[in-house]
Each structure stands twice: as structure tokens, then as C-alpha cells.
Chains A and B, each alone.
Chain A
Amino acid sequence: MTTDQKTQPKLSYEQAREELGRVVERLEAGGTSLEESLALWERGEELAAVCQRWLDGARAKLDAAREARSQ
């Protein structure tokens, strides 16, 4: 179930966030095998990292712009 690094960057923020939502719901619903739960959890962490990267990037751009403006 884990996707390799190659497809990561193409994942848009919204897509990553939506999938993260689904993963968490499935995990909470339970009834999945141990392997599956682990895989789900791993996928969840990956997606959260992707989202975080998008947000940090955006914030960095915003700060940079602000700085450029204040010079």
C-alpha cells in the first residue's frame, strides 16, 4: 500500500489531505489486518509529511515576500 517517493511530488496538497482523511477514518474503523493497519499508519504519516511540506513551503514563500517588501 505504500507509494514510492516518485509519485510523492505530484500529489497536490488537497489530494494528500483528502487521502490522509480517508486513511485515518479506515484506521479508526478498525477491522483491518495487522499488516494493513501498519501500512495505513505509515501511509498516514507520509501524507501528513507531504501536507506539512506544502504548508511550510507556502509559509516560507510568504515570509520571503514580506521580507523583500520590507527592505
Chain B
Amino acid sequence: MGVTQTGPPPTTGTAPRTGTPGASTADEPWPVRVVSQKVSAWIAKLGWVWVDGQVAQISRRPGAGTVFITLRDPAAELSLTVTTSHEVLAVGAPDLSEGARVVLHAKPEFYPARGTLSLRADEIRQVGLGELLARLEKLKRLLGAEGLFARDRKRRLPFLPQRVGLITGRASAAERDVLTNTRRRWPGVDFRVINVATQGLSAVPQILDALKILDEDPGTDVIVIARGGGSVEDLLPFSDEALCRAVFACRTPVVSAIGHEEDTPLLDYVADVRASTPTDAAKRLVPDLAEEQRLISLARHRLDRAVTNRLDRESQRIEAWRSRPVMARPHVMIDQRASDVISLRDRAERTLGHRLGTAANELSHTLARLRALSPAATLQRGYAIVQRTSDDHVVRADSDATPGTPLRIRLASGTLPAVVTPDADSAPGRSQVAPEAAVIPETGGDTEDHSDAVPDGGTSAPRTRAPHKTPAARTAADREKNTDDTAPAVDETTPKRERAKTAKSRKDSA
């Protein structure tokens, strides 16, 4: 506000002009009139100035020519009286009302009569809403440029505040909202409330004071500035520059909860946290105890269910495996093999039986054949076998046994020892066997022809032999035959040979 040009000379009321006495001293004090005249002169020196202020009071006494206005500083608790005329008022700010922001062109004046000072305005302009908002916008840019709105300067609210400082109107809706909602969410929360004017001139100063108190209180770890809805003018204090700077300077985090959702005073930008409404502020201040507990129990519940499901699933799986036939009834495995063994054994038995059977058949068959071939049957029919006891040679010709050789005659049952007796009337070299033993030509052993073996029990007819050879020829053939009687001719009757051997071995061992 530069100094303006000087206006008309001051009219100093009706005080008589007096000389300028010397300096005032205790002995020669100045009278009041001198002092007030000097004061008046000093004051006049300021000259005309443009003044920005807020109308605290306005008195338009119809009768009186002048209008008296109490003009307050927008931020500080200072005010001055302004005198103006109805005309000036009507021209500049026709419907001026309390709280309005004005800019006026005035000159300070001193009234000696009552010793009062006042500004005499010759021009008043009401600062319109548009003007105000424009001013706000400018301030906003200014503060923004200074970095008061910087996001990184924002401080986080404590998750669970120890004590909440609340700056709000006395018994206001905002106060109730913040207190009830916060306590509902977290009953244990502790509040320190400082009630202030939340609109009009004294709002800002009071809020600043409260802010200072709460910021310095170590116990308070978050401050809330809350106010219900209101007109733009009502919310003006919350865009006040001084307030914004103070909030920015605060060490304690500040929550701004001004007006409705759509209201955004500058405080919203400066504060650490912007709550759209006082109720919303409660949500940001404290966690909801009930909600937190619900979340915890929900988590626990899901935890339990997950683990239980897993356990159930796994034990079912194990049970499934355990109940598989191979595991549940292992003896099946053993029974299986047992029955295998049994069937094998049966088969073995059967085959054995079978084989025995066939073997038995074979045996009997062979036996039959054996019997058929053995001389026993022949002996049965009365024949006898003569052998030389010396070498068991079967006597087939009288030449085989010279007189005196001991013989053994084998009968159907038993044997008879015998000796060859000389033959009185036959040619030498012929031997005669005691008449009572008739030597039958050999039917077993050495003869080649067995084809017509006599079945047991049949009438035994002497078998025909090869055409009759002369005795000499026979004896030569026989002799040649006898020498190698040990060589096995086609020898069917094993038992006879056996007997020959055994007799021989007996003779050797005797």
C-alpha cells in the first residue's frame, strides 16, 4: 500500500491555535490541547491509504450523517473505526454487511474532543465473492509454488492414535460426528477437544491458538480440524493463509475435515490428510475394532478350514490305499499260492498215480512175458534140466557127460544130484544116464528156436528141432558150441543163466 498523494488540509476540530511552546517538561507540561494537537498533526502525516479489512460492525444510524464501521484485520485481532458518509457507502458497497471483506481508501484522523482515532473513508469497495475466490486462487498458487502442498511433506497418521486433538465449533454437528464415529470404531480412543469459532472473524485466530496448544502437547499424536457444511464465506477462514502456514508448520499430523464432500478449502491441500467430512475423518483416525476383529476371526476360520480339509483329504487317500485288496486282505496272496500248491500237488499225484499205474501194467506185462518164457512151465509139465555140476553146463548130448561126471538134475521143484554111469553095452564114449532119469533135449537157453513158447497150463509137446544131424556132426557142433557156452548166445532166459552163474559161484566159494 504505497503512500497516496496528500488530500485536503486536515480540519482539526475547534481547538484554538496556540503557539508551539517549548519542549514539555515536568515543570512546564503541555496542556491536553497541545498534546492532542500534536498527535493530530502526526497522524495526518500518514496521508491517504488503501486499507483491506473485514467489516466487524456497521452502524447506519439514519439520522446521523456519518456511518461508523468497525474494520478488523482479516487475520489479527486488531480493528479500527471507520467513518464514512452514506453516499460513499451507497456508491461503493450498497448492502455492506458484517463479515464482508472490503477495501477502502481512507485517511487516519484524530478527534481531539474525545481523543479518538478513526479512518475517514472517501471510497469503499466490497470485495465480491468472485473477487474473494480469485484472491483464493492466487493464494493457492502462491502456497503451491512454495511447496506447502508437496505430497512428500505429508505425514502418515498413526495407526492407533494415543490421543486425538480436535479443533471444532462448540457442540457443533461436526464435533458430535467426529466423537461418536471415532468412539464407535475404537471405544478406547482418547480425545482432547478445543472449541473455537468456526466462521467469521475470530475463527482463524482461535484456530491458530488451538493448533499451537495441541501441537505442543506431546500426548496428542494427531490433530483434527473439523467443521460442518457452510457457504463459501463461512468456510473462508479455512483458506486463510496464516492458518495454512501454521498447519504446514505443525509437527503433529493434521486432518482437515471441513464442510461437505465438494468443499475444498486451502486447508485441505496443506493438511496431512484430507477427510471429506467429519464422519469420514473418524474412519481415517482409527481402525474399526469390530471390523479388525471380524477380519482376524475370518482369517482364523479360513486357516482352520484349509488345514482340516487338507488333513481329511490326505487321510482319505491313505485309507483308500490301505483298503486296496492287496493291502487289506494280504492272505489273498497266500491263499492264491496255497491253492496253486495244492493244484500242483494234485497234478503231481495224478501223474504219479498214472505213471505207477502204467509201470504196474508194464511190470505185470513183462512178468507175464517173463513167465511165459521161463522154463518153469516146461518143468511143470514133467521135463527136467540136466547140468554138469562142475560147470553147470547144460547136458544136451551124451557126449557132454562122460561117465562119472556129477550131474544136477533140476525138476519142477527141487533138484536131484546124479552121476553118469558107464554104459555097459554102448560104444565107448557114449555115456548112459541112470535109466530112471530121462534126459530131455534142451528146450530152453541155447536152442535158437523159441517162437512157439508153450503158454502155461497148455499140454507140453516136445518141440521139433532142426533136421536130425548124425551124432558125430552133432557132437562136433555141440562140442564147439559147449566150449563157448559162456559166450552169450541169444539168451532169452536170463534166470537160467543166473542160476548157472550162482551155482558156479557157489562151487567157487565152497
Contact = CB atoms under 8 A, between A and B. Distances in A.
Interface of A: 13, 17, 20-21, 24, 27-28, 34, 37-38, 41, 44-45, 48, 51-52, 55, 58-59, 62, 66, 69
Nearest to A34: B337
A1 B373 CA distance: 67
Contacts of B318: 17, 20, 48, 51-52, 55
B322 A48 contact: yes
Given A41-B330, A44-B327, A59 B321 contact: no
B333 interface: yes
A58 B307 contact: yes
Nearest to A14: B314
B4 interface: no
Q: How large, as a class, is the contact surface on chain B?
A: 10 to 19
A62 B308 contact: yes
Contact of A51 (B314, B324, B330, B337): B314
B311 interface: yes
Interface string B164-191: 0000000000000000000000000000
B471 to A, nearest CB: 82
B299 to A, nearest CB: 12
List 6 tightest A-B contacts by C-beta distance, closest first. Answer: A27-B326, A41-B330, A51-B318, A48-B322, A55-B315, A37-B333
Contacts of A48: 318, 321-322, 327
25 contacts: A13-B314, A17-B318, A20-B318, A24-B321, A27-B326, A28-B325, A34-B333, A34-B334, A34-B337, A37-B333, A38-B330, A41-B327, A41-B330, A41-B333, A44-B327, A45-B327, A48-B321, A51-B314, A51-B318, A55-B311, A55-B314, A55-B315, A55-B318, A58-B311, A62-B308
B350 interface: no
A27 B311 contact: no
